[in-house]
């Protein structure tokens, strides 16, 4: 192995070691309770529990961000089942320190909770569905400000009207899939479905619902026509088969009659 090959090998090994150290240094999210969806202007709560606090930094703070409105954070420190401390902070962006291995009562786990009001939807989107940041947590080292991402959680937010429109579109999409699988022509239904999705994305839920219902109706009609067509086709094939069998039977009967006549003669 020449000098350049040895250097390349050392660089590769060094990168692998650095990657391994980086993976081992992250804190562990042991529990998360974040709603998958929530209605606009309703109150929502979320909780995340974190362990392995000192695998990376001996002293650090937790940064929190959320798009909830009128939000209150609660940061609770534990050592096993024993609560050591608790802090409450208002605001969409917070920083809480006190995670320090040198403390007499060093926290071993922390629980980050928040409660706030679900924000308005700025831009509706059927797929992917519109979401907001419910909670974003970052680990910040105290001495130099170095950071590590802990995790980010999003929640789908909706209004009563947008939820009704989404359900109508979902129902229409399912009807179209079923009709397509039966061999029906669903081009018109798919066109109306796309219009419904476009209206949804524009926030025009009344038109979205109307077009989705039209798409579902057209898909169901197309499926019914396809099934009737298949029934007629199968019935026609069956009738032809029956006629063939009857004709064959008649020929055999006539042949048998002729044989009997010859024998009598």
pLDDT in tens, 68-109: 999 999 999 999 999 999 999 999 999 999 899 888 888 999
Query: Which structural domain range is residue 52 located in?
Result: 26-158
Question: What is the pLDDT, as a whole number, of residue 23?
Answer: 37
Q: DSSP letter for 121, please.
A: P
Query: Can you tell me the distance from the alpha carbon of 69 to that of 205, in angstroms, rounded to the nearest whole number?
Result: 25
Domain final residue pick, 158, 185, 213: 158
How many structural domains compose the chain? 2
Domain final residue pick, 115, 141, 158: 158
Question: What is the pLDDT, as a whole number, of residue 158?
Answer: 99
- Is the domain of 148 the same as that of 193? no
Burial class (CB in 10 A: 0-12, 13-18, 19+), 3: exposed
Strand-strand pairing, 37-39 and 147-158: parallel
pTM, two decimal places: 0.76
Low-confidence ranges of the chain (pLDDT < 50): 3-4, 7-25, 236, 239
Q: Is 17 contained in some domain?
A: no
Q: Is 18 contained in some domain?
A: no
Closest CA to 101 of 54, 142, 63, 141: 54
Closest CA to 67 of 131, 2, 3: 131
Closest CA to 184 of 138, 217, 147: 217
Domain final residue pick, 158, 178, 198: 158
Question: What is the pLDDT, as a whole number, of residue 244?
Answer: 65
Q: Is 41 contained in some domain?
A: yes
């Amino acid at each position: 192995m020449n000098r350049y090959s040895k250097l390349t090998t050392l660089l590769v090994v060094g990168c692998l070691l650095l990657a391994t150290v980086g993976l081992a240094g992250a804190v562990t999210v042991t529990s998360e309770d974040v709603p998958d969806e929530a209605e606009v202007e309703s109150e929502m709560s979320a909780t995340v529990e974190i362990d392995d606090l000192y695998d990376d930094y001996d002293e650090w703070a937790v940064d929190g961000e959320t798009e909830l409105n009128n939000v209150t954070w609660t940061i609770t420190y534990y050592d096993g089942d024993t609560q050591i401390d608790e802090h409450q902070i208002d605001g969409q962006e917070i920083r809480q320190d006190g995670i320090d291995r040198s403390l007499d009562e060093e926290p071993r786990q922390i629980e980050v909770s928040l409660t706030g009001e679900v924000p308005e939807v700025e831009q509706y989107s059927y797929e992917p569905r519109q979401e907001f940041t419910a909670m974003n947590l970052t680990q910040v080292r105290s001495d130099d400000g170095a950071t590590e991402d802990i995790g980010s959680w999003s929640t789908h937010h909706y209004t009563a009207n947008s939820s009704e429109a989404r359900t109508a579109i979902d129902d229409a999409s399912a009807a179209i899939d079923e009709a397509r699988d039966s061999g029906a022509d669903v081009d018109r239904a798919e066109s109306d479905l796309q219009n419904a999705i476009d209206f949804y994305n524009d926030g025009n839920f009344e038109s979205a619902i109307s077009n989705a219902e039209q798409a579902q109706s057209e898909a169901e009609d197309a499926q019914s026509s396809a099934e009737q067509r298949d029934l007629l086709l199968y019935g026609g094939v069956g009738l032809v088969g029956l006629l063939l069998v009857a004709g064959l039977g008649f020929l055999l009967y006539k042949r048998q009659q002729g044989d009997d006549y010859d024998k009598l003669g």
